[in-house]
Amino acid sequence: MTDEYKNIRKMEVGDIDEVCKIWLTCSLIAHGFIPAGFLHSLLPKIKKQWEDNCSSNNYQMYVYKEEGSAIKGFIIIRNENNYVEELFVSPEYQGQDIGSKILDEIKKDKEFLEVNVYQLNTGAIIFYTKQDFDVKKGEKSFHIEKDTGQWKIRMRWEKDPLLSQLKTQY
């Protein structure tokens, strides 16, 4: 990570409990249309999966943590298809550009990113739209998630080659 984003570092197994708390808190708030009991039931499986993924080359996992503070946010990217599996910022730190900083740092090394967002999660749709994500065109733009019965929207960001070239020149 660049010096500008020195508060972003690789996630470690020791971070997982704190990251799981952030995920659950944010999910209960942002996904109020999903039963709380269902979200709580996912936690043991998610924790195990993230512990395993910390040592895997198949994922990029980062936390945003300022010196002497708690973890404020995190991102998990599946490398094989540049898929944003998770991006959450603790509610008390939202609105401070932490999610944008995490995403900006990830974008530096990617040609594109994709994410699925619940249709009812308007906050996430607005956030990703501000980050230059668009609804992906094609047959998999919208789908119903099997486990929740909720509609999801597939969004995609692509690096602008001209803009990238200009940034490196100046």
Note the pLDDT of residue 165.
52
Q: CB of 60 within 8 A of CB of 106?
A: yes
d(CA 62, CA 83): 14
In a domain, 168, yes or no: no
The answer to whether residue 86 is domain-embedded is yes
Residue (of 43, 27, 85, 42) closest to 61 by Cα position: 85
DSSP 12: -
Whether 170 is covered by a domain: the verdict is: no
Which amino acid is residue 169, in one-letter code?
A: Q
- Are 22 and 90 spatial neighbours (Cβ–Cβ below 8 Å)? yes
pLDDT per position as a tens digit, 18-73: 999 999 999 999 999 999 999 999 999 999 999 999 988 999 999 999 988 899 99
Residue 139 lies in domain: 3-163
Could you give the CA distance from residue 99 to residue 30 in angstroms, rounded to a whole number? 15
- Does residue 89 fall inside a structural domain? yes
Is 67 part of a structural domain of the chain?
yes
For residues 20 and 54, the answer to whether their CB atoms sit within 8 Å is no
Q: What integer best gives the mean pLDDT of the chain?
A: 91
Residue 123 lies in a domain: yes
Residue 170 pLDDT level (bands cut at 50, 70, 90): low
Report, as an integer, the average pLDDT of 91-111: 94
pTM above 0.85, yes or no: yes
Report the number of distinct structural domains present in the chain: 1
Distance CA 150, CA 157 (A): 23
Reduced to 3 states (helix: H, G, I; strand: E, B; else coil), residue 92 is helix
Q: Which residue has the tokens 């490196």?
A: 168
Q: Contact 65/72 with Cβ under 8 angstroms?
A: yes
CA torsion through residues 164, 95, 155, 70, sign: positive
Joined tokens for residue 85: 């599996």
CATH of the domain at 78: 3.40.630.30
Number of Cα atoms under 13 Å in the Cβ half of residue 169: 6
Is residue 9 domain-resident? Answer: yes
Evaluate whether residue 121 is within a structural domain: yes
